[in-house]
Every structure is written in structure tokens, then in C-alpha cells.
């Protein structure tokens, strides 16, 4: 019985130490982003939860990473001033994303990939299906306000409008 209790406490210590190291890694990573210009922020790490800093006031948190699909899931907006995690309205949480966020110059909006990916049974066997879309997210209201497919490769102009080619796709307020 004493051995079982000893093993339990050793496992508990290892588990807690792992969580502390993970949080320290996240803090170190977050501090590295602060000096990054707000054009495109890309994360190359594959941990369970990933925090991407949008501005001094806001961040994006992905709660889950699926190694098989190579996608992050369950994005939430984090109000860093109030320590509040906010679910994004009108976002399909069954779909995945990559933590590459393209932030508008005024930091009121960002574009987030919304990727449908899964395996489909066909006569030839299991086949991978992918459909790439993206969404414009209103940061302060934590709301997906526009879904795009062919215009995901656009960019923000100086007036905070999303532009694809020569066409303004989204006019900011």
C-alpha cells in the first residue's frame, strides 16, 4: 500500500512539473511575440493549447491540436486586460485552423482560416477531403462577421478594409 501511495505522489509531481514547464514555455513564447509587427503572426509549435498574441489587449487561444489532421481546433478570443476567454460567435467549432492570423492595422479585425478536413470512404478506400475557407473575426465583439473562400489570400489596406486583387471584399466600420 505504501508503494502505491509513493508511486501516486511521484506521478502527481511529474504531472504538475510538466504543466508548470508548459505554462512557462507559453509565457516565454508570448513575450517573444510582443515586438512582432501586426501583419501576420505564425506559430510553428504543436502543443495542446496555443496562445497567439494579437495586440497588447487581445490574444487568440487554440485549445486543441489534432496531430492526424495537423490542425488546431477550438479557437477563443482572450481579453488580456480582463483575463476573459470568449467563444467566437458564428464560428463552426467542428472545423480546424492554423495559427496564422492576419490582423487589421487598427487591430479590430483579423482573418482566421476555417478548414474542413476529414476522411471520406470511397470505392477506392479512405480518401482525405479538404475545403479551405477563412473568416473575418471582429475582435471586440468575438464574432465571425464574414466567411470567404476565394478571397482568403487578400490583405488589409490602410483603411482597415480586406482587399483581394483590386476589389474591396470587406469594408470596416
Domain boundaries, the chain: 1-35, 38-170
Minimal CA–CA distance to 140: which of 168, 104, 95, 171? 104
CA distances from 42 to 5, 54, 89, 136, 148 (A): 44, 11, 23, 17, 20
Question: Would you state the pLDDT for residue 113?
Answer: 93
Helix, strand or coil, per DSSP, at residue 81: coil
107: left (phi over 0), alpha (psi -120 to 50) or beta: left
State residue 130's pLDDT score: 93
Domain 38-170, classified CATH 2.40.128, yes or no: yes
Confidence (pTM): 0.69
- pLDDT tens track of the chain, all 173 residues? 545 444 544 444 444 444 433 433 333 333 333 333 334 444 344 455 688 999 999 999 999 999 989 999 999 999 999 999 999 999 999 999 998 899 999 999 999 999 999 889 989 899 999 999 999 999 999 999 999 999 999 999 999 999 999 999 999 97
pLDDT at res. 39: 43
Rounded Cα distance, 54 and 67, in Å: 24
Length of the chain: 173
Cell of 23: 505554462
| Grid cell of 172 as nine digits | 470596416
Amino acid at each position: 500500500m505504501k508503494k502505491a501511495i509513493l508511486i501516486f505522489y511521484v506521478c502527481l509531481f511529474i504531472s504538475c512539473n510538466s504543466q508548470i514547464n508548459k505554462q512557462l514555455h507559453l509565457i516565454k513564447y508570448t513575450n517573444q511575440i510582443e515586438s512582432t509587427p501586426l501583419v501576420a503572426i505564425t506559430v510553428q509549435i504543436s502543443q495542446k493549447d496555443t496562445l497567439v498574441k494579437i495586440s497588447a489587449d487581445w490574444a487568440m487561444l487554440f485549445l486543441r491540436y489534432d496531430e492526424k489532421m495537423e490542425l488546431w481546433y477550438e479557437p477563443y478570443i482572450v481579453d488580456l486586460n480582463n483575463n476573459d476567454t470568449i467563444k467566437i460567435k458564428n464560428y463552426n467549432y467542428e472545423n480546424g485552423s492554423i495559427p496564422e492570423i492576419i490582423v487589421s492595422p487598427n487591430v479590430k479585425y483579423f482573418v482566421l482560416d476555417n478548414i474542413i478536413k476529414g476522411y471520406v470512404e470511397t470505392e477506392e478506400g479512405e480518401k482525405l477531403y479538404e475545403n479551405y475557407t477563412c473568416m473575418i473575426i471582429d475582435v471586440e465583439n468575438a464574432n465571425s462577421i464574414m466567411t470567404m473562400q476565394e478571397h482568403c489570400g487578400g490583405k488589409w489596406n490602410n483603411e482597415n478594409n480586406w482587399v483581394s486583387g483590386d476589389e474591396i471584399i470587406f469594408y470596416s466600420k
